[in-house]
Every structure is written in structure tokens, then in C-alpha cells.
Amino acid sequence: MMNSYGDVNKVGKEMMDNNLKSFAVVTKGFQAIAGEANDYSKSSVEAGSAVIEKLANAKSLEKAVEIQTEYAKTAFEGFVAQATKMGELYADMAKEVYKPFESAISKAK
């Protein structure tokens, strides 16, 4: 329980500091997520372009189907890996955002 203006001021300052720390974590986290999304998009476009080139040079229908099947398998595996990585980035960011408030919450109980 707060007994004085000084206590209220201290809690207010602590909450502001926690908010600023969390904001910095969110900013850094979204920069990392955007960077990952950009890298994945770039590699995905490059892989798609390479497949189109391979398909254009395929000598038979069977070879074209083989190229397309391999690309679909690789693209799906890459997507799943990227989705997992992005999920981990979001989860890590959420944990880091919460950290500054843990002590304040435990004090309030």
C-alpha cells in the first residue's frame, strides 16, 4: 500500500521506465522480424526464378514434373522452417517485453 506522494511518484517512475524498456524491446524485435521476412522473401523469389529457368530448359514432361515436385517440397519445407523461426521470434519478444513488469507485478501482490 502506498503511504505518501513519494511512493506514488516512485511507482509512476518505475512504470514509465518499464514501459520504455518494453518499447525498446518491441522496436528491436520488430526490426529482427522484418529483417527475417525480407531475407525469406528474397530467397523465395530467387528460388522461384531458378525453378522457372530449370522448367524452361526441361527436355521432357517427366523432367518438368520432377523439377516442379522437388521445388514444391523444398518450398514447403522452407516455409515451415521460416514460420517456426518467426513464431520463436514473436515468443521471445513477448517474453522480453514482459520482463520489466515482472518485479512490479510481484510487488503488487
Residue type, position 109, single letter: K
- Cα-Cα-Cα-Cα torsion 38, 42, 44, 47, nearest 10 degrees, comes to -160
Cβ-contact 103, 54 below 8 angstroms: no
| Predicted pLDDT of residue 109 | 60
Q: For the range 66-73, what are the long-range contacts, defined as Cβ-Cβ under 8 Å and sequence gap of 24 or more?
A: 71/47
Full-prediction pTM beyond 0.85? no
Instruction: Categorize the per-residue pLDDT at 5 as very low, low, confident or very high, splitting at 50, 70 and 90.
Output: low
The 10s digit of each residue's pLDDT in 37-96 is 999 999 999 999 999 999 999 999 999 999 999 999 999 999 999 999 999 999 999 999
| Region 26-30 average pLDDT | 94
Higher pLDDT, 1 or 95: 95
If 0-12 CB within 10 Å is exposed, 13-18 middle and 19+ buried, where does residue 55 land?
middle
